[in-house]
A and B are shown apart, each in its own frame.
Chain A
Amino acid sequence: EVQLVESGGGLVQPGGSLRLSCAASGFTFSSYWMSWVRQAPGKGLEWVANIKQDGSEKYYVDSVKGRFTISRDNAKNSLYLQMNSLRAEDTAVYYCARGVVHPDYWGQGTLVTVSS
């Protein structure tokens, strides 16, 4: 059974940093592109970033470029999102998802709240 479990969310002050993790199981993690998608409270889905199987290619939505870094550790079946210089508008549930074109499995999400 495919499982994606996010962790690392929480309350952080504006300008602060947070690192999200996603533990994958039930499939060959190293064979898939992976994505982060977020959803602000009461709002729609927004693609944030994705990463190629070997980590050699990474892409970001314009609003997080230069602040967020996606990475992965295939030996640990884990996906990460390092978030720096956080802003109030980054407040959202962050989902880890398998794939890029049509992510087919999603985690339950981890809530990130940016507030003073």
Chain B
Amino acid sequence: QSALTQPASVSGSPGQSITISCTGTSSDVGSYNLVSWYQQHPGKAPKLMIYEVSKRPSGVSNRFSGSKSGNTASLTISGLQAEDEADYYCCSYAGSSIVVFGGGTKLTVL
């Protein structure tokens, strides 16, 4: 039950694209196409942005996209906007009804 590895911080200018990586192991990210991503603004509850690696819930902007290769998943945000500044967490199913989260990445929009 070790946490997934994310960069502590990323930054980008408005209009640019950024990518956040999420590295796990062959027991979690590498074994299941069940990676999700959450956005959390300060003092707020997490919001589901991507599920099953690349699917977007209804209402989430298509500027958000997800992918996976081997044991690493990625979240890409294109056309950065000020409102995207937040913490982002990845999450992966790890078998036996257990999930594991990443340590979180703080996105700063310059």
| Chain A residues proximal to chain B, CB less than 8 Å | 33, 35, 37, 44-47, 50, 52, 57, 59, 61-62, 95, 100-104, 106-109
Bound CA–CA A106/B72 (angstroms): 26
Cβ-neighbour of A104 out of B48, B93, B98, B99 (below 8 A): B48
Bound CA–CA A103/B104 (angstroms): 16
The answer to whether the Cβ of B57 comes within 8 Å of any Cβ in the partner chain is: yes
> Are B52 and A44 closer than 8 Å at their CB atoms?
no
Chain A CB count within 10 A is highest, among B34, B46, B47, for: B46
Q: Interface size class for chain B?
A: 20 to 34
Cβ–Cβ < 8 Å partners of A45 in chain B: 38, 40, 46, 89, 91, 101, 104
Cβ–Cβ < 8 Å partners of B104 in chain A: 44-45
Give, as a whole number of angstroms, the nearest-CB distance from B18 to chain A: 19
Bound CA–CA A62/B51 (angstroms): 25
Q: A95-B45, A101-B34, A101-B93 are in contact. Are A47 and B57 (CB under 8 A)?
A: no
A-B contact pairs, 27 of them (CB 8 A): A35-B99, A37-B101, A44-B89, A44-B102, A45-B38, A45-B46, A45-B91, A45-B101, A45-B104, A46-B3, A47-B91, A47-B100, A47-B101, A52-B97, A59-B97, A59-B98, A61-B1, A101-B34, A101-B51, A101-B93, A101-B99, A102-B91, A103-B48, A104-B48, A107-B45, A108-B45, A109-B45
Interface string of B35-68 (1 = CB under 8 A from A): 0101010001111100110000100000000000
Bound CA–CA A59/B99 (angstroms): 10
Beyond known contacts A47-B98, A104-B48, A108-B44: 13 more, CB 8 A cutoff = A44-B104, A45-B38, A45-B89, A45-B101, A46-B3, A47-B100, A47-B101, A57-B97, A59-B97, A62-B1, A95-B46, A101-B36, A102-B91
Q: Looking across the interface, which residue of chain B has its beta carbon closest to that of A63?
A: B1
